[in-house]
A and B are shown apart, each in its own frame.
Chain A
Amino acid sequence: MSAHLTHEELTDNLLGVSSLTVNAHLLNCPACANELDQLKGSIAGFRGAAHAWSESALAADHTVPIVRARPQRSWTANWVLAAAAMVLLAAGFVSYLRYRQAGNQEVGNQAHSVQVAVPATGVEDSRSQIEKDNELMSQVNSEIAEAVPAPMQPLQLSQSAASSTSAAK
């Protein structure tokens, strides 16, 4: 009789892959047959316990059914929602266009008024200033042009009056 079964031979038998050699060995080797039986029994016991445990665990499961938990909308509802979204979108777009147009007009008016007003006030200011300046300059020129300063004017007049009276005498 050969040595005991290898681990691969024993596992293959456990997996249902049997061979004549292994089967013959198991018939003649109580140690290998006993170990294989215990292994099969332990795994089968675990399988049975696992099945029973899972049934019991699922029986106590209070989770919500997955598909029903998500409310399904009908096609009609979807179309209504889509139409409402489109209307809202269009209304928003139109109001945006109106707002933009109004904004452009206001900006245009403001720009126009600035263009007209600023130069107008500037021209007025400059003209009056020039007139004032010219007036002042002409006044200064006239004062400079006089031979006798203005405060002396009455004296000059009296002297000329005296000379005219003496000549008359």
Chain B
Amino acid sequence: MIQTLPVELIAASGEDSISELDDIDALIRQYKPKVFRLVAFSVADRDAAESITQDCFLKAHLTRNQFRGDCSVSTWLMRIAFNLVRDHTKSQKFRFWKNAAATAVDAHDVSQHLASGASSAEAQLIAKQRVEMVHQTLQELSDKQRSVFVMRFVEEMDLPDIAAVTGMSLPTVKTHLYRAVGAIRARLGATL
């Protein structure tokens, strides 16, 4: 299934970007973690995320001639990944993955990867609990709110880039972020 990319992402320019797309190994090395994180926290399943991430790079490789460098390669890849996630969550396959949940992204598992730093054991425990709360709240958000939150606060993308990736207007992106942050504030506030 090859999707047509939006016109604003296929404008003129970018010899460097095109040659960057030709080197698929370098492309995967550089962007796979970023794409994988967006997909993993959007679909909440590690196996499905790996599969979708592969599909994303395969699609990027097959349609690399359509990329003309109007946006960064990173934005272009995130756009493909976002569309794949959207297709996946609409499909029956997503319900299967969600029901199976054998390889679900576990909040506790994620929080275990929190850097210990130099803080006390108690502070470390509180930090882990907060990470778990953020992750749990993320799963309660809508698909779009979750993806937008991950792009902004995990991948630290600019709002215009998020708008370009999702095809939403800037105010819509901000509205999704207000709601996502509001849900996290409510969860954290209830336990503080």
Contact = CB atoms under 8 A, between A and B. Distances in A.
Answer yes or no: are A and B bound together in one complex. Answer: yes
Interface of A: 7-8, 10-11, 14-15, 35, 38-39, 41-43, 45-58, 61, 63, 65-67
Identify whether the interface residues of B are mostly helix, strand, loop, or mixed. Answer: helix
B127 A66 contact: no
B45 to A, nearest CB: 11
B134 A42 contact: yes
A15 to B, nearest CB: 7
Contacts of A46: 110, 130-131, 134-135, 153-154
A51 B159 CA distance: 20
Interface stretch (B9-17, B29-37, B65-73, B86-94): B29-37
B181 A14 contact: yes
A41 B51 CA distance: 32
A51 B153 CA distance: 12
B131 A45 contact: yes
Interface of B: 24-25, 28, 32-33, 36-37, 40-41, 46, 50-51, 54, 57-58, 61, 105, 109-115, 127, 130-131, 133-135, 152-154, 156, 159, 174, 177-178, 181-182, 184-185, 188-189, 192
A31 to B, nearest CB: 11
Given A45-B127, A45-B130, A45-B131, A39 B184 contact: yes
Identify whether the interface residues of A are mostly helix, strand, loop, or mixed. Answer: helix
A41 B114 CA distance: 12
A35 B192 CA distance: 10
19 contacts: A7-B185, A11-B181, A38-B130, A41-B130, A42-B133, A45-B127, A46-B131, A46-B134, A48-B113, A48-B114, A51-B37, A53-B110, A53-B113, A54-B36, A55-B33, A58-B36, A66-B54, A66-B61, A67-B61
Contact of A47 (B46, B112, B153): B153
Nearest to A64: B54
Contacts of B192: 38
B181 A50 contact: no
A49 B181 CA distance: 18
Contacts of B156: 47
Nearest to B109: A53
Contacts of B50: 61, 63
Contacts of A54: 33, 36-37, 40
B80 to A, nearest CB: 13
Nearest to A57: B46
B24 to A, nearest CB: 5
Contacts of A43: 134, 153, 184
Contact of A49 (B51, B131, B184): B131
B185 A39 contact: yes
Nearest to A67: B24
A45 B153 contact: no
Contact of B33 (A8, A35, A48, A51): A51
A157 to B, nearest CB: 115
**3 tightest Cβ-Cβ pairs between the two chains A and B:** A52-B113, A42-B130, A46-B134
Contact of B113 (A15, A42, A49, A67): A49
Given A7-B185, A54-B40, A67-B24, A48 B115 contact: yes
